[in-house]
Amino acid sequence: MKRREHWGSSLLFVMAAAGSAVGLGNIWKYPYIAGQNGGAAFTLIYIFWVVVIGLPLIIAELLVGRASQKDAVGAYKKLSGPNSPWWLAGALGVLTGFLILSFYSIIAGWAVAYTFKTVSAFLFSGDFLALQTAEESEAIFIKFSGHPIYPVVWHGLFMVICIYIVSRGIKSGLEACNKILMPILAGILALLVVRSVTLPGAMEGIEFLWYPDFSKINEESILIALGQASFTLSIGMGAMITYGSYLGRSENVPKSAFWTASTDTLIALLAGLAIFPAVFALGGEPTAGPSLIFVTLPVVFNHMPLGGFFGACFFAFLSIAALTSAISLLETVTAYFVDEKEWSRKKAAWIMGGIIFLLGVPCCLSYGPIQDFKIFGKNFFDLLDYLTTNIFLPFGGLLLSIFVGWFWRRRLATEAFLTGSKSARLASLWFICIRYVIPILVIVVFIAKLLGKG
């Protein structure tokens, strides 16, 4: 048996965990669903879920991973005994990771494509910069995303980069990549926020983000906020179990989890601050939906001084954030095949990455040739997104909290919590959240949603 690789230091681990958390969820999804669900009111509910459910669950996942030193399925198996059905909860997680990456990589591919387009337009003044109106921008976006070949190629390129990084392992793959990219990410974001909030007329966007409109809140938006909190923190599918399994005994897990969750939330809020003031200042539509950043922003950038430069920065920022998250999704799937099926890391990453690529193709085409193919009124892409984000992730989180709260004995769970962190008070607060608060809240939200529909 090879010795399990471990993260080089606490800081590098937090960078990797935050790299997983900060992604398209923060920059692409959060602004548009906040825009559609009441702005500030939605943000408050989302932050509530992050504190009450998100943080305790990240801690729980990391502890389960560290205690077992195994992938998501192996962790449940090891802690619950070989004949217990709990491994199924881990298997649901691995499947979820598989499905999420197949649509995640499509948007990531768009981001990479838009980075190239804006950079080349900035350098050579191509047609991208000549965009004047939202209609023009939308036409370009529809032509690009609906093309039967190009977006698939960008999706493939993005997957190849991911697979390459994951196949190199923890230290020279994931850690090396996060160590370089996370500081760049922070730098670009700071630049964009300053640019956006100093535009004349930015106040309206800030108001939209900070003054709550509670009339837009209903069961659906509460569930969406819950899904969003799980998605953006990378919890509910064992990604944090997997990252935790590369931790040594001395790590202070609650502290690292706290930094991961705060960085993630802060970056979502800052991304909102980089986007909305600019959108309002330049007369864009804040409720535009998934295309907000691909349709509205290019026009916005085009109307500001040095817009080509800021546009290129923005899409590079988006691509980097997507990459550091996507590798955590692929790592979760890969670790399962490495630990449980004893495949080599290279083989697992390439084969699974390849299958994910193939599954992504229909997602990609659901913006073009097969957009009229609908199941439950949603195209293939939206269906996968809705199912995984709003159903599988909260459900996976529910299973994990029941497992840790009721089956992994309290003594063991608390002991794990207290290795590294010394506060017994915090440990019992955490345990109460896991054992009672999370299961009850998640079940209530699910039931409310079901009844609300019926």
Which residues would be at the binding site for ligand TRP (CB under 6 A)? Answer: 20-21, 23-26, 100, 231-232, 234, 237, 239, 325, 328-329, 393
- Give the list of residues 6+ apart from residue 56 with CB closer than 8 angstroms, or none: 401, 430, 433, 434, 437, 438
Q: Among 397, 408, 412, which residue's Cα sits nearest to residue 446?
A: 397
Q: Which is nearer to ligand TRP, 138 or 331 (CB)?
A: 331
Tokens of 87: 């491994």
The dihedrals phi and psi of 3, each to the nearest 5 degrees, come to: -70, 145
Q: Which is nearer to ligand TRP, 23 or 277 (CB)?
A: 23
Distance CA(64)–CA(427), nearest Å, equals: 15
Q: Which is nearer to ligand TRP, 45 or 427 (CB)?
A: 45
Q: Which is nearer to ligand TRP, 37 or 421 (CB)?
A: 37
To the nearest whole angstrom, how small is the minimum distance from the Cβ of residue 27 to ligand TRP? Answer: 8
To the nearest whole angstrom, how small is the minimum distance from the Cβ of residue 245 to ligand TRP? Answer: 15
Q: Which is nearer to ligand TRP, 24 or 247 (CB)?
A: 24
Q: Which is nearer to ligand TRP, 98 or 231 (CB)?
A: 231
Q: Which is nearer to ligand TRP, 332 or 366 (CB)?
A: 332
Q: What angle do CA 159, 165, 167 make, to 5 degrees?
A: 95
Q: Which is nearer to ligand TRP, 281 or 323 (CB)?
A: 323
Q: Which is nearer to ligand TRP, 237 or 282 (CB)?
A: 237
To the nearest whole angstrom, how small is the minimum distance from the Cβ of residue 165 to ligand TRP? Answer: 14
Tell me if 229 sits within 8 A of 49, measured CB to CB.
yes
Per residue, what are the HEC states of the chain?
CCCCCCCCCHHHHHHHHHHHHCCHHHHHHHHHHHHHCCCHHHHHHHHHHHHHHHHHHHHHHHHHHHHHCCCHHHHHHHHHCCCCCCHHHHHHHHHHHHHHHHHHHHHHHHHHHHHHHHHHHHHHCCHHHHCCCHHHHHHHHHHHHCCCCHHHHHHHHHHHHHHHHHHCCHHHHHHHHHHHHHHHHHHHHHHHHHHHHCCCCCHHHHHHHHCCCHHHCCHHHHHHHHHHHHHHCCCCCCHHHHHHCCCCCCCCHHHHHHHHHHHHHHHHHHHHHHHHHHHHHCCCCCCCHHHHHHHHHHHHHHCCCCHHHHHHHHHHHHHHHHHHHHHHHHHHHHHHHHHCCCCCHHHHHHHHHHHHHHHHHHHHHCCCCCCCCCECCECHHHHHHHHHHHHHHHHHHHHHHHHHHHHCCHHHHHHHHHCCCCCHHHHHHHHHHHHHHHHHHHHHHHHHHHHHHC
Q: Which is nearer to ligand TRP, 240 or 278 (CB)?
A: 240
Q: Which is nearer to ligand TRP, 76 or 128 (CB)?
A: 76
**Residue with tokens 């509670």, as numbered in its chain:** 214
The dihedrals phi and psi of 212, each to the nearest 5 degrees, come to: -70, 140
Tell me if 144 sits within 8 A of 151, measured CB to CB.
yes
Q: Which is nearer to ligand TRP, 231 or 336 (CB)?
A: 231
